[in-house]
Amino acid sequence: MRDFVISANSTVDLPKEWLDQNNVNVMPISYTIDDVTYQDYDGKLSSKDFFAKLKAGSTSVTSQVNPEDAKESLEPLLKEGKDVLHLSFSSSLSGTYNSIRMAIDELKEEYPEAKIQVIDTLCACMGEGLLLYKVIGLKNEGKTFEEIADWVEANKLNICHFFTVDDLNHLHRGGRVSKASAVIGTLVQIKPILHMDNEGALKPIGKERGRKKALTTLVDMAVEHSKGWENDIVMISQGDALEDAQYVEKLVKEKMGVENVLINEIGSVIGSHTGPGIIALFCMGEKR
């Protein structure tokens, strides 16, 4: 039986050390800020410096993976005689999934003996990361390529994403809220609550006045949606807002009873659209 590799986009936003330790093939997505192009995990611009640039008024623009990039990332694995299962960033947020699919169609002709599959996770950020964490666990248990692919398709919509941002103007630039809502909301300290829907798109589902109340609401929603599920880990992404992430961690332990909580910096690709101050909470639940 051929060995297989799990591959994912850099938008999983998990610690690089964990990705390296688990031999995950990371396909990068690029972003450009101040006329310089970077990639998540390239080590050239720290998260702190990235968000400092945004706070100073710089704009970051992201670029989807193109078919040539995807082929360049996957083909070396096939040349090693390995099969590849790729977990892709949500197709509702990027054309990356379609580019990877095009690359795989070409690679299948060149490597007919190989199994190559891409799955549209309909997830983003550490929602992708949580799905990847579960997949690596299944692989370590000895599950087959097909068993893991089937599990992902059956469970990807059970990955719950809840998040809030500190500045509505970044969401306005991304088309998520109107300009009037962004201006008025910022003035009166309205904090939106958003989630990832079943189509893999970001949708506002509520709002709170004040940061602490918004953070508490994230956890309350996770508590409600995760009823009946055993969460062995909960993940929190933060964009230059570690103290707020630690506050959410405390509430998760108190209200969800989950002691294993992973906090990590949000990647610059996702951070380009959310801006600094984002706090996102990810768990498994009955529905999104």
Q: What is the distance of C-alpha 46 from the center of its chain?
A: 18
Question: In the predicted model, what is the mean pLDDT of the chain?
Answer: 93
pTM above 0.75, yes or no: yes
pLDDT of residue 192: 85
**CATH 3.40.50.10170 residue spans of the chain:** 4-156
Q: How many CB atoms lie within 10 A of CB 174?
A: 14
Q: Which of 80, 90, 71, 73 is nearest to 39 (CA)?
A: 73
pLDDT: which is higher, 194 or 177 = 194
Q: 118 forms bridges with which residues in the sheet?
A: 86
Return the SS3 of 90: coil
- Which tens digit of pLDDT belongs to each residue from 87-120? 999 999 999 999 999 999 999 999 999 999 999 9
pLDDT of residue 122: 98
For residues 37 and 64, what is the distance between their CA atoms, to the nearest angstrom?
13
DSSP H or E stretch at residue 254: helix 242-255
Considering the segment(s) 158-284 as one domain, its CATH architecture is: 2-Layer Sandwich (3.30)
**CATH 3.30.1180.10 residue spans of the chain:** 158-284
Which structure tokens are listed for 217? 């609401």
Query: Is residue 236 a contact partner of residue 273, using CB atoms and an 8 Å limit?
Result: no
Q: What is the mean pLDDT of residues 170-193?
A: 57
Does domain 4-156 match CATH 3.40.50.10170? yes
For residues 274 and 243, what is the distance between their CA atoms, to the nearest angstrom?
18
User: CB within 8 A of 170, min separation 6: which ones?
Assistant: 54, 273, 274, 275
Residue listed under structure tokens 């189509």:
199
Q: How many Cα atoms occupy the beta-carbon half-sphere of 222 within 13 Å? A: 33
